[in-house]
Amino acid sequence: MPIDHRLSPEHEELRRTVEEFAHDVIAPKIGEFYENHEFPYEIVREMGRMGLFGLPFPEEYGGMGGDYLALGLVLEELARVDSSIAITLEAGVSLGAMPVYRFGTEEQKREWLPRMCSGEILGAFGLTEPDCGSDAGGTRTTAVRDGDAWVINGSKSFITNSGTDITGLVTVTAVTGRKPDGRPEISSIIVPSGTPGFTVAPAYSKVGWNASDTRELSFSDVRVPAANLLGEEGRGYAQFLRILDEGRIAISALATGLAQGCVDESVSYAKTRRAFGKPIGDNQAIQFKLADMEMRAHTARLAWRDAASRLLAGEPFKKEAALAKLYSSEIAVTNAREATQIHGGYGFMNEYPVARMWRDSKILEIGEGTSEVQRMLIARELGFAS
């Protein structure tokens, strides 16, 4: 039986609403924020008022009662215009709020989720470390139990949404013990912003995503209540694997949006830019580039929606999420390169959206699992040991 990826009326209405918001509100303003490396607080506040940060969460916690498909649709539409805005939402939902929803106690959910769902505060997920990227099992940050508190020491790097004026918490993975075989026992702990000893470094100077917030974090004898443990002690590694599996669907939707945005901008440019007395779109070489770009974006869309549908159905989705993330991120890079080529010299000018898309695309092959990690996961699902 064929898989039906046509949208319900509710999902289509949401998609159209966000499409209009992206073009009418984000597009005219985001270029200045991007070039000035400024976080777009007013746009983020508006997204909060629209309920976008609460899309996949139940209404009892301040959410919209939607699902992961709805989140993916929103991320795709945002990224068609700008990826900094899209990654702010993706990280705030998938990495900031979702761990609390999936693994938090009822008290933790009621304390944190309503404010994250409304966009009043942002959450972040502190996983990556300076000496520990893809090898998350090599975590060096430690958390030691001292009475009714955890004492945390260590550092994290490349953490999105961690240093804004509205960041409320960072969920940190830390070694809390050792297993019988000597491997680290990793747990997840909520660290509220402003906790003494918790230092947020200045924002990175990045190649792309320049209107989003990314920082290095350090923890020096940071004390938080023992009740801030998220989920079971020693289960942090398994927890973040689940969070990353879901997050790959979201990143795939974002990458698809960037790839489609490259098509949108290039089609418009090819119809208006004239050379040798005619629009450059009259040249078959340009038409074929555009056809290939549209094919890639369409296929990526099918891939992330398939993974999302499996997640919503309660079926295994690890392989499909890895496939979607791998394919969509790599074709986003390809489409961005081709869009720049079609625009010629103008594609190298920051005033054109494709210049941002080109700069933003590469990180999609790295963040939330590199392309190499995705291939490893797919091979495992095919029955090969790594």
Report the catalytic residues.
368
The DSSP line for 220-257 is EEEEEEGGGEESSTT-HHHHHHHHHHHHHHHHHHHHHH
- With tokens 């990495």, the residue in question is 95
Question: Which residues neighbour 255 within 8 Å (Cβ) at sequence distance 6 or greater?
Answer: 79, 300, 325, 328, 329, 331, 332, 361, 364
**Are the beta carbons of 199 and 218 closer than 8 angstroms?**
yes
Tell me how far apart the alpha carbons of residues 99 and 80 are, in angstroms, rounded to a whole number: 27
Tell me how far apart the alpha carbons of residues 327 and 182 are, in angstroms, rounded to a whole number: 36
Q: Give, in order, the Cα–Cα distances in Å from 25 to each of 91, 282, 332, 357.
A: 21, 32, 24, 18
Residue 49 CB neighbour total at 10 angstroms? 11
DSSP state of 121: S
For 288, counting Cβ atoms within 10 Å of its Cβ (0-12 exposed, 13-18 middle, 19+ buried), the class is exposed
Angle at 92 between CA 303 and CA 145, to 5 degrees: 115
Phi, psi of 281 (to 5 degrees): -70, -10
277: left (phi over 0), alpha (psi -120 to 50) or beta: left
Question: Which residues neighbour 215 within 8 Å (Cβ) at sequence distance 6 or greater?
Answer: 159, 162, 163, 200, 201, 202, 203, 204
Tell me how far apart the alpha carbons of residues 346 and 348 are, in angstroms, rounded to a whole number: 5
Q: Tokens for 249, please give them.
A: 């669907």
Question: Which residues neighbour 326 within 8 Å (Cβ) at sequence distance 6 or greater?
Answer: 371, 374, 375, 378
Question: Which residues neighbour 386 within 8 Å (Cβ) at sequence distance 6 or greater?
Answer: 376, 379, 380
